[in-house]
Structure 1
Amino acid sequence: MTGNRRPRWFLEEPSPDAGARLFALPYSGCGASMYRKWPRFTGDVELCPVQFPGRENRLREDPFMSFGSLADMLCEALLPYLDRPFAFFGHCSSALIAYETALRLERRGYPVPARLFVSSQVAPHKGVHGRFLDMSDDELREEVRTLITELGGVPRPDMVELSLEVLLFDVAAHKRYGVADPDPLPCPATVLGWDEDVEVPHQLLHEWSDLGETTFTLLKGPHYGFLEGPDELMRTFATGLGRAPGPSLAG
């Protein structure tokens, strides 16, 4: 990919100077801009928010219908950028997308992540979990308003309805996800809990260790605390990838 043209899967072209890359997958109902408060780099690790189809600048595209179908697309879309150590970050439902993508990379003989960072999500074999899954459309609409406000935006009615449509597709895909006998992790995982998270309490996260090598890290903050890009989270990314923690840079 050359010139100033940006690939549709990223808001910014990943830098050729990065020592390692962390691909940050969007939370339910959101796009890549949800990570706008994150730095571009932490040390030499580039933080690369991924844009899913059907949202933000890809609004005219069909949304994904299942975590598996999205993981298949991600394998091919990200392959040109897997030429150095890399990791995935997923919060809540996108942690499961990160897991499924890592599995598919391994099956295809592609490079696999050096590490998965899974945040506020129960292990795949523990069943679907999350209060969004049992909410009515009106309740989800109110959650969208809250999330837009958390992201620093103004919840205009048109924006709320567009975001609600995306969220409904994401919730439906999450409800369809089920893995009774999950495959082992293809790489080590860092499981991230948040000490003020009342939506997915950190005590529910430890069964990821059933799938392979895991490290559990408890961070300070609520369910949406990751949106601010806290320093402790940035250091966790760097050390988890075996990189020296360094200043967080805008790039």
Structure 2
Amino acid sequence: MNLSDPKDLASLLEALLLASGKPLSLERLAELFDEAERPSTVLLRKALDVLDKSCKGRAFELKEVASGYRLQVRANFSPWVGRLWEERPQRYSRALLETLALIAYRQPITRGEIEEIRGVAVNSQIVKTLLEREWVRVVGHRDVPGRPAMFATTKQFLDYFNLSNLDELPPLAVLREMEPEPLVDPEDAPVPESLQARADLASEADAPREQTSFRSLLAELDSMEVGLKTDFDDLREDSVDDEALPDGESRD
């Protein structure tokens, strides 16, 4: 094998990256060679470029992340590859992801500053989880009374989210566009004519009873586990009546 040839060196680097199981930096790759045969940084980059081009059209790709280079399965194959493992991917709470996002975009930031922005207290378990996963670390202490710890993200955070540096984080404006539209308060939402007509009929048929409000109708629908849709096409004619049925039962 001619290690001065980028093509031969690319094959060797492919073997090293496949066997490693974790990203390898240029410095770490160079350390794997004897001093007499150690390729220069320029030659290593040329070989990595050859390797990257050889991955075109294949199921895996060469990816540079914060910790270095790694070979990984392309994202479009993940739905099938994920079935190799029986356990489901861990799901994280909205509170944890909001806390992580604030640390990523506002770092270094203290717990108190996160709580001030979110408007709620940060659960200690959230901070513990982020530290244990090595997604965040303490980088210092704010020079204020109490000297609170300041948090910042780590290379492991960048590696996990397939980023090489913080500049690759999407702009905040893009994230705001991805946020779902705020839910309309039921009291302020317009009442569909069909539902209001049924409510009026119910109140007229049973005059002694208190007039049915939109809030009470929603409560009845929720108790029957009927999802309230914007067009109400899926509501049965008998879904709203003088009395709500017990949970899980339906009129047949």
Same fold (TM over 0.5): no
* Structure with the higher strand share, 1 or 2: 1
**Which TM bucket (shorter chain)?**
under 0.3
* Structure with the higher helix share, 1 or 2: 2
